[in-house]
Structure formats: C-alpha cells, structure tokens
Amino acid sequence: MVKFSYQQKGYKMKLIKISLAAALAVSVLFGAEETSDVSISANMALTSNYVWRGMTQSDNSPAVQGGIDLGYKGLYAGVWGSNVEFGAGNTASMELDIFGGYAGELYGIGYDVGAIQYSYPNQSKALNFAEAYFGLIKDFEVVSIGAKYYSGIKTDDFDPTDAWEVTLSAPLPMELTFSALYGDYDKVGNYYNVGLTKALGKFEVGVSYTGIDMDSGSNQDNLIATISTSF
C-alpha cells in the first residue's frame, strides 16, 4: 500500500482560510523574521497536481498547500497541510503532516535527521503512518548533491516500507534553478522528478516532470506547475 492525498470542495476553501490565518498570525506576532536564535516562517503553494514520490495524491487535480516552520539552533519543527483525493471508497480529504528534527554541517557536508507523521483525518486507521529520515548534502557551488533514507514506522493499521532517494540541484542564469531526483520506494517502485524553478520577487514559479515505474506495472507520469511563496 502507498501514501495518498486529498481533493478540493468546501475543504479547499477551509484550508485556504486556515493557511491565511496562520500566515497572518506568524507575520503579526513574529514579523516572519529571526528573533535571536529563534526563526519562524510560513509557506503557501498552489500546484496543478499534488504528487508524492511520483504518485498523484490529489487524483490529478489542483491542490492548495501551506505550512509553518519553527527553528532554533539547528533544531526545527513544523506542520504542513494539503487537500487530497484517493478515489471512490476513501473519505480522506486532507493531509496534515507534523515533523521535527535537527540539521547541521560537519566537515563541509550538511546533514539532516528527523521524523515526520503523515495524518489523514477521516481515514486515520487506514492511512496514517510515520517515517524517520537521515539525509546528507554537499554544496559544490556550481551543483549540490544530496541523498536521503526514509525508514517507515507503523503508527496505525498501515505498515509502510522504506525509501531512499538522491538529488541534484544547480543554479542557472536568470534566477533559474535546475533540480533532479531519483528514488526507490521499497515494494512500490522507482520514482523520479526533473524540474526548473524561477524566483519572481517573493514568489517562486516551477514546472516539473515526475513519475514512478511501479513494481505492479501500473506506472504514472505527470507534468506539474506550481507557484509558491514563503514569509
């Protein structure tokens, strides 16, 4: 079984209102700027298709997403949400993730260790699960290369498997960034993503081609457009 996502009716507008309210609270209370060693920020995005590890989580429909992040001397924690849609018979309409960890650098190599809980109201027993992860990244200035391993953790009925992925990103002229990812989701399939993003003031616009070659033979591929901002 694999992780899925939700869709958009009245809950989409509800998610937009919640995201805007949270973002406003962040801006008012903290000015969305670092205070001493504490940092807090918010992010929002509109994407043409919510895809996770090559699989659509919104039934190939648009998704509204947003989150809040808190950091302190390498420690971080946050929440993130999106509408989802898994098809007939599945009542999940929202994904809410809670995560935390520690990120730092040793001998010029960045590392990130943490955990994330994926929660699905209305389908908690069937879909909820967690992952612990460990990642490394090296910035060579002209290109950054990274790798990450995810260990699945059973928290309800769903028993997740492990995954690993490697990433590459490179800055290009005109404030463009090229990125590529290849991963293996154990017992599910191999997934990939290639994309370009461009900074436009406080916004970032991106387009990517993503997909998965599933072990079952039921493959997916999608062309996705996304606009996001953080503050």
Question: Domain coordinates of the chain in residue numbers?
Answer: 10-230
> Across residues 73-97, what is the average pLDDT?
95
pLDDT value, residue 9: 36
What CATH number has the domain spanning 10-230? 2.40.160.40
pLDDT tens digits for range 30-76: 444 445 799 999 999 999 999 999 999 999 999 999 999 999 999 99
pLDDT tens digits for range 120-163: 998 999 999 999 999 999 999 999 999 999 999 999 999 999 99
Instruction: Give me the percent of the chain exceeding a pLDDT of 70.
Output: 85
pTM of structure: 0.85
- Split at pLDDT 50, 70, 90, the class of 6 is very low
Mean pLDDT over all residues of the chain? 89
Which residue has better confidence, 80 or 8? Answer: 80
pLDDT tens digits for range 193-219: 999 999 999 999 999 999 999 999 999
pLDDT value, residue 89: 83
- Split at pLDDT 50, 70, 90, the class of 3 is low
pLDDT value, residue 88: 79
Cβ neighbours of residue 170 closer than 8 Å, sequence gap 6 or more: 142, 143, 144, 177, 178, 179
pLDDT value, residue 87: 86
